[in-house]
Structure 1
């Protein structure tokens, strides 16, 4: 029963890791140190095995939007944690057509309490879904070090299941095919703790929620 935060990938070796992402579908690749997922009228995603729990853990990464590319309704980049029940999931869905970042916790494919944000490629560069002591939180960050909590909700019971999947996904309804990209999955930047620490921030693996994972 591994915590979701134990799944880490920097996507730097140019090859999708079949042990980490065995459920992947579509023509996903690694390029330029990122996971590259087609954003076409087909469905594509990096997808983990169904072996994780979100309880006391997280799913976090750097996310890069696709081009709208003339899509009529949606051109999506998504980071979603899926339960074993279809349409019951939580995470982030970015629509490049509308310029809206959706923070979702769906049951039966709907979320009446969905929170939406006008998407900022800088302010919302990093996204993180985390569960702590019965509370689910959606965080964003400009740099992967300092985080702002954008939504909280009571944790759905399924977040404690031990067969969850995480996907990094792309899809569009129409228009010219493009890519969405993802980087540094569960590899977050250490916040600078003192004014004398002026070197470039380093990356750290945060497997579970702790003091350093609170919203900033």
Structure 2
């Protein structure tokens, strides 16, 4: 079964890859080397097929959030792995109305152990959800190279299923329509001598460079 680590896109060709993002919905486009997702009262997302597993794998990307734009409750940019059961998912939900980045692992649309961080556009520019050896970890990074683990938890059983989907989504309850943008999906950076190179990480490289997991 393919892991999410095999799903890679730099969004540089100006065209949504219909194979990689076959489940997409809404008026999404690629503009300026980024995936652009409307943040309106409708629902829009770049979405993969429901054909991957998170066990021993990861999702990661650069996030450019929408403006709050007068929304009353939420103006969201989200990076989520969805299970086949509605309301059972995990990942990141950034709400520009509250200024909070939510690190979630929900069952029945709820997560009693949710972690909410005061959003920093620099420190939380990149997000990564990774699974290994029965532990799920939520990481953030300023540059896509050096990562900090913000939450870790025992992996729910569903992360090993082979029909998971990832979405890069936008939505707001009200206010002026805007968009969220995403870039470099699973294209992390590593420092090399005299240069910064982008590379699609392997599980070996993740084990070598990823931070040590700690309790939530």
Which residue matches 2:79? 79
Matched, 1:210 2:207: yes
Which residue matches 2:6? 6
Q: CA RMSD in A?
A: 1.1
Deviation at 1:106, TM superposition (A): 0.1
Question: How far, CA to CA, are the matches of 1:213 and 1:203 in structure 2?
Answer: 16
Paired residue secondary structure (1:140)? strand
Which residue matches 1:113? 113
Could you tell me which of 170, 194, 198 is aligned with 1:198? 194
Alpha-carbon deviations, 1:74-93, whole Å to 9, x = none?
A: 00000000000000000000
Deviation at 1:215, TM superposition (A): 5.2
Alpha-carbon deviations, 1:116-158, whole Å to 9, x = none?
A: 0000000000000000100000000000000000000000000
The TM-score with structure 1 as length reference comes to: 0.95
Q: Gaps spanning 5+ residues in structure 1: where?
A: none
Alpha-carbon deviations, 1:98-118, whole Å to 9, x = none?
A: 110000000000000000000
Which residue matches 2:127? 127
Which residue matches 1:170? 170
Matched, 1:138 2:133: no
The TM-score with structure 2 as length reference comes to: 0.95
Q: Gaps spanning 5+ residues in structure 2: where?
A: none
Question: How far, CA to CA, are the matches of 2:124 and 2:212 in structure 1?
Answer: 14
